[in-house]
Amino acid sequence: MSIFISYIILGLSLSAPMGPINAAQLDKGIRFGFIHAWLVGLGGMAADGIFMLLIYFGVSQFIDTPVIKLFLWGFGFFVLTYTGIESILKSESITKASHHHQIETKGKSFRTGFFMAISNPLSILFWLGIYGSILAQTSSSFEGGQILLYSMGIFLGITLWDLTMAGVATGARKLVSPRILRFISIFSGLILMGFGIYFGVQACRLLFG
């Protein structure tokens, strides 16, 4: 049981650093509420699950090819830069939230998180390193059922952090003034754009380097 808890803590620690998904959750939670922020995280979790399955079934070599890397860097640049610009441009609507009900489909929030995570080469390399090493360590000591259980522990930790971030964003929406909320939304957008530009630079290096 203590090993399972340690993998839950691992999932929490993997999700905690500020990155594109956390920034997008803050933005969606501030503008649209808890469910939308949670769905962004859920979309990211779906992508994480795909990465874990790919690594589990040993197809990581395919992901590591230059053509796939170039596609992922380029697609990541587009998704993150677009989302960051959208966050900044729509930050003005936060100050008008008390007068106009903002609407966005839940599906779009889920897709935002999914495409951010699935197109993030850093996430792929991250899971290759972290989950790959976990598999290497546990496969020699545990059976398949135990490996699956500990993988679920990681996912449970990610889920707990997802709910925490959604709650924080929703709490900020209720407690903080519209001007500060707008600043947070702009800040989140800049973070997303920063990651997007970094991905674009990496794509150019891979293409022209």
- Domain residues of the chain, as ranges? 2-11+20-208
3-state helix vs strand vs coil in the chain, percent to 5: 85, 0, 15
- Assess whether pLDDT exceeds 50 at residue 98: no
Query: What's the pLDDT score for residue 143?
Result: 61
Instruction: Return the percentage of the chain with pLDDT > 70, whole number.
Output: 76
Q: Report the pLDDT averaged over residues 153-180.
A: 81
> Residue 20 contacts by C-beta under 8 Å, 6 or more apart in sequence?
80, 83, 116, 117, 120, 191, 192, 195
Q: Report the pLDDT averaged over residues 39-54.
A: 87
> Residue 169 contacts by C-beta under 8 Å, 6 or more apart in sequence?
25, 26, 27, 28, 29, 30, 34, 37
